A and B are shown apart, each in its own frame.
Chain A
């Protein structure tokens, strides 16, 4: 951590000539007797993305983002300003704007404190430079060739490769400094297949907080190409989805998006402080079947949703949300935790310096149960086996959530039969998990492609779960 802090100072402060004395000056200006909390957040990020389409490297993009966000909190009020130009004058001006939330007053001067040594959860290496450009191109061409060679019905292949490197430094009003250097890589494959005039598409991909070698190792990238083709070919055979309420078995891994939508968002601190969530004031109550234990874990090494420290400088944590079906706690940032008389859980996240921190998920998953997945499928007379999802949405107030299936099959007499297309699941968060009747022993985390949106801010997240049986959920389809 002290090494990370040195790196962050060197990246963010030194080039702009910003010293510790300047940081103190800006913080002194930001706080007053009426300000309960304040922070300065510096960020420097570089992102590079490549697209292969039509068999050629069609696009390459480089994005540079840099700035500082200043926040002052007085009671339930927040003042916020940011600047893209890092110099003392601009920082002082932003501090002046942000503090306008409270009346001016006297305040003491703060001293800059040290920071704790923390084990980092991911390497500080710059993933943009982890492979030479020529090797990135070669990797994408290999994936394209793999997908096209996999089946003659493959008509279009699009490969995307993204590497991001984010350095942040945050200082609170007690002078505590924290820093993080966050790598993030992602690779995606989209294929379109055609057979007798029918076209279908599928996506596959993965990512982590490491570097681009991740896609070369264990042939992961080639695996995504093969997986996208497999799913697209399955979709070519898919029949209309039966509509109505039925038993649904959710596969392991990415279908954990169910937890993210059905309960995750509803357990974020801000919604609960304001009484907006279907889960408000329900700590200690039974909100899921006793088979369900769900955690939000920001401490998994190199996972897409993990954080060594969050965007308020709090170390990432593993928080139990639901244990044996009982609601145990919320995910908190400092602001909402303070107002609710609770502790922050290291879930304070922001898309960038230009956004305010909010309580957000990291990696949200259900712990494994005891059942063999084959047994679970075998127990279903008629139902749906949902293996892959395209995305979801929730209304945290009514608790209603939906998600779209990208790969699903009918279950008939305990056996997986025909693939179905265009299915949607819809349910009610506080009810859906009470209908979980079997939990598999096969916990899997998703491949590392999740992005969560809230209040217009996107952050990378992870999900996971073992195979689950939900006794009844409404399936949207066209067949009656």
Chain B
């Protein structure tokens, strides 16, 4: 059986005690344990049933200003002793680092809210199969050109995690995560296309219906049929809402403290600078109830708070943990472990109105490859989508690339749509960028 919260707390306490015994001046530890089910059906039949059971523990020890870390998936006392011992050995070999250490004790989350992250799904493999089958069947029934399926998958996980450190902080909470996805193929003579749709929630009762997920997967795959290349040109580009989160991740990657102090960012030293048009507001809210990335404290025990990253188009803050904050002579922003629940303000236009406003240009619905250079901001990626003329979609396009520089793209943001009902932890509508280079035939 999975260990209880009390057992996990005891494990963290034992780990910290073991580290102290071995001479560590400070330490922190995190332990997690989860169990779940992942079931895939394909072409009307069960394909795989996976019973997942994950556990793990990580410890960081400090010997003065030297640091060492270790992790293990084996939680037996022998393995734990080995891991702590190894972390201590490593700490004797790393360098003195002025900035190393735990976050300040005064910043620890004292009382923190219950964010309602735990909603275990008492679902049997049979019921899971039925749900997945409904999604796949809805996709296959939508149109005879849905010729094949990669399957529908239901996965559900629930577990607990505890973090503690030698300031005496111990905190943790249970959480759950449920996802239903469907991938199908369309075909009609001149080739096959594949697309997917999904939903993911903390509370399984909030998941979109299997039928709607299946239908959307099928509609997306059908819309891609008969794609053609475009001629090479420059044109305005709209990134549809479901792929727009990647642009916000480009921003957060560039304003991470780590990228700033290493001078490896295309937004180097841009605190207070105008990086977007002045109507743009970008916020992080780690405390959204049932939020997919919500957390009451960060990976160092520091209390998390909602904040503006961009206000009136200006960069308000970097994204810092205690280490990068010390490197930059700043204060941690409670972002050890990353950014939690981002959103951008939207205008009043839906996607159709944005296409109308744009007149002619490219609607991008799919991106391929990792073509962002984090140091220069140069952006060049494979893309597919639709060519738009007279404000209406004309035909699907594929095998093209779009290129610009991310700094330019941010400055050239003309509008964000109100079509922000997308799955995941980032809330954004579609982004309309004034001009990019499209390469094709």
Is B86 an interface residue when CB atoms closer than 8 A count as contact? yes
A residues 447-480 near B (Cβ < 8 Å) are 474-480
Q: Taking A78-B47, A398-B193, A474-B229 as contacts, is the C-beta distance between A422 and B264 under 8 angstroms?
A: no
B376 lies within 8 A of A476 (CB): no
Q: How far is the CB of A364 from chain B (nearest CB, A)?
A: 19
**B-contact bits for A307-333, CB 8 A (1 contact / 0 none):** 000000000000000000000000000
> Of all chain B residues, which has the CB nearest A394?
B368
- Find the B residue at minimum CB distance from A390: B370
A232 to B147, CA, bound (A): 48
Cβ 8 A contact of B371, one of A59, A274, A424, A480 = A424
Complex contact A477–B380 (CB within 8 A): yes
- CB contact between A133 and one of B89, B185, B264, B400 (< 8 Å): that residue: B89
Q: Which of B52, B264, B381 contacts A192 (CB 8 A)?
A: B264
- Once the chains bind, are A476 and B262 in contact (CB under 8 Å)? no
The CA-CA distance from A158 to B70 in the complex, in Å, is 21
Q: Are A397 and B369 in contact (CB under 8 A)?
A: no
**Which chain B residue has the least Cβ–Cβ distance from A201?**
B375
Contact of A201 among B53, B185, B264, B441 (CB under 8 A): B264
- Judge if A284 is at the interface, Cβ distance under 8 Å: no
**In the complex the two chains form, what is the Cα distance from A85 to B76 in whole Å?**
8
**B439–A474 contact, CB under 8 A?**
yes
Residues of A within 8 A of B83 (CB): 62, 64
**In the complex, what residues of A have CB within 8 A of residue B55's CB?**
84
Q: Which of B46-91 contact A (CB under 8 A)?
A: 46-55, 67-76, 79, 82-83, 86-87, 89-91
Is residue B331 contacting chain A, with contact meaning CB distance below 8 A?
no
Q: B371-382 interface mask toward A, CB cutoff 8 Å, 1 = contact, 0 = none?
A: 101111011111
Q: Is the CB of B48 within 8 A of A356?
A: yes
Q: Mark A389-402, 1 if CB is under 8 A from B, else 0.
A: 01111010110111
Q: A243 with B148: in contact, given A60-B90, A76-B47, A78-B49 (CB under 8 Å)?
A: no
**A50-58, A294-302, A409-417 - the one binding chain B:** A50-58
Measured between beta carbons, the chain B residues less than 8 angstroms from A80 are: 48-51
Q: Interface with B: A96-104, A206-214, A219-227, which one? A: A96-104
**A100 cross-chain contacts in B, Cβ below 8 A:** 49, 125
Instruction: Name the B residues within 8 Å of A192 (CB-CB).
Output: 262-264, 375
User: What sequence of 0s and 1s flags, for each residue 58-86 of chain A, a beta carbon within 8 Å of any chain B beta carbon?
Assistant: 11111111110000000011111111110
A56 touching B95 by the CB < 8 A rule?
A: yes
Contact A81 B50 (CB under 8 A): yes
Task: Flag if B79 contacts A64 (CB, 8 Å).
Answer: yes
Cβ–Cβ < 8 Å partners of B368 in chain A: 393, 395, 400-402, 426
B29 within 8 A of A: no
**Chain B residue, CB-CB nearest to A85:** B76
- A182 at the binding interface (Cβ < 8 Å): no
Q: In the assembled complex, how far is the CB of residue A477 from the closest CB belonging to chain B, in whole angstroms?
A: 6
Which of B51, B263, B402 counts the most chain A CB atoms within 10 A? B51
Q: B437 at the A/B interface (Cβ < 8 Å)?
A: yes
Contact between chains at A424 and B369 (CB < 8 Å): yes
Within 8 A of B (CB), among A79-133: 79-85, 94, 97-98, 100-101, 133
Residues of A within 8 A of B224 (CB): 398
Least CB distance, A400 to chain B, in whole angstroms: 6
Q: How far is the CA of A192 from the CA of B261 in the complex (A)?
A: 12
Contact B73 A64 (CB under 8 A): yes
| Residues on A with beta carbons closer than 8 Å to the beta carbon of B440 | 244-245, 474
Q: Beyond A60-B91, A397-B185, is A354–B52 a contact (Cβ under 8 Å)?
A: yes
User: Does A400 lie within 8 Å of B382, measured CB to CB?
Assistant: yes
Question: Which residue of the partner chain, among B71, B369, B376, contacts A61 with CB atoms under 8 Å?
Answer: B71
Asked whether A137 is an interface residue with its Cβ less than 8 Å from the other chain, the reply is yes
A427 part of interface (Cβ distance < 8 Å):
yes
Contacts of A83 in B (CB 8 A): 53
Is B211 an interface residue when CB atoms closer than 8 A count as contact? no
* Bound CA–CA A243/B94 (angstroms): 46
B45 engages A474 (CB within 8 Å): no
Q: How far, in angstroms, from A238 to B94 measured CA to CA in the complex? A: 37
Q: Is A421 an interface residue (CB 8 A)?
A: yes
Closest to B258 in A: A53
A230 beta carbon closer than 8 Å to chain B: no
Q: Which residues of B contact A60 (CB under 8 A)?
A: 67-69, 90-91, 93-94
Q: How far is the CB of B7 from chain A (nearest CB, A)?
A: 14
Interchain nearest-CB distance for B426 vs A (Å): 20
Give the distance in Å from the alpha carbon of A155 to the alpha carbon of B125 in the complex: 55
In the complex, whether B203 has a CB less than 8 A from a CB of chain A is no
A199 within 8 A of B: yes
The contact of A398 among B68, B70, B191, B376, by CB within 8 Å, is B191
How far, in angstroms, from A328 to B314 measured CA to CA in the complex?
A: 58
Minimal Cβ-Cβ distance residue in B for A75: B45
Q: What distance in Å separates the Cβ of A241 from its nearest Cβ neighbour in chain B?
A: 7
Report chain A residues within 8 Å CB of B42.
Answer: 274
- Interface SS of chain B: strand
Tell me whether B284 is interfacial, beta carbon within 8 Å: no
Question: From residue 213 to 257 of chain A, which have CB atoms closer than 8 A to chain B?
Answer: 241, 243-245
Q: Determine whether B157 belongs to the interface, using a CB cutoff of 8 Å to chain A.
A: no
Known: A60-B90, A200-B375, A477-B403. A397 touches B194 (CB 8 A): yes
Task: Confirm or deny: B232 has a beta carbon within 8 angstroms of a beta carbon on chain A.
Answer: yes
A64, A65, A66, A200: which contacts B376 (Cβ < 8 A)? A200
A376 to B34, CA, bound (A): 56
The 8 A CB mask of A148-165 against B (1 = contact, 0 = none) is 000000011010000000
Complex contacts, A94 vs chain B, CB 8 Å: 51
* A residues near B380, Cβ cutoff 8 Å: 241, 404, 422-424, 476-478
A79 and B49 CA atoms in complex are apart in Å by 5
- For window 89-116 of chain B, which residues contact chain A by CB distance below 8 Å? 89-91, 93-97
Given that A82-B53, A398-B194, A424-B381 are contacting pairs, would A62 and B369 also be in contact in the complex, using a CB cutoff of 8 Å? no
Cα-based distance from A243 to B93 in the complex (angstroms): 49
Q: A61, B379: Cβ atoms under 8 Å?
A: no
- Judging by beta carbons under 8 Å apart, are B437 and A243 in contact? yes
Q: Is A403 an interface position by the 8 A CB rule? A: yes
Contacting residue for A58 out of B53, B95, B148, B403, CB 8 A: B95
B48–A61 touching, CB < 8 Å = no
B238 in the interface, Cβ–Cβ < 8 Å? no
A444 within 8 A of B: no
Give the complex CA separation of A82 and B52 in angstroms: 7
Nearest chain B CB to A228 CB, angstrom units? 13
Q: Does A134 reach chain B (CB closer than 8 Å)?
A: yes
Q: Which residue of A lies closest to B89 (CB)?
A: A133
A476 and B93: CB pair below 8 A? no
Q: Complex formed: what's the CA distance from A83 to B33 in Å? A: 12
Closest chain A residue to B82 by CB distance?
A64
Q: Which residues of A contact B82 (CB under 8 A)?
A: 64
Asked whether, in the complex, the Cβ of A477 is within 8 Å of the Cβ of B148, the reply is: no
Residue of B nearest to A44 (CB): B74
Nearest CB on B from A35, distance (A): 13
* Known contacts A201-B374, A391-B370, A424-B380, then 9 further A-B pairs from the complex at CB < 8 Å, ordered by chain A residue: A62-B70, A78-B47, A82-B51, A84-B73, A243-B401, A398-B194, A424-B403, A475-B401, A476-B371
A sample of 8 inter-chain contacts (CB < 8 A) reads A56-B94, A60-B68, A62-B69, A77-B45, A421-B378, A424-B381, A424-B403, A477-B439
Chain B residues packing against A (C-beta within 8 Å): 42, 45-55, 67-76, 79, 82-83, 86-87, 89-91, 93-97, 125, 148, 150, 185, 191-194, 224, 227, 229, 232-234, 262-264, 268, 368-371, 373-376, 378-382, 384, 398-405, 437-441
5 nearest A-B pairs in the assembled complex, by CB-CB distance = A476-B401, A402-B382, A422-B378, A60-B90, A243-B439
Chain A residues near B (Cβ < 8 Å): 48, 53-54, 56-67, 76-85, 94, 97-98, 100-101, 133-134, 136-137, 155-156, 158, 192, 194, 199-201, 241, 243-245, 274-276, 278, 354, 356, 390-393, 395, 397-398, 400-404, 421-424, 426-428, 474-480
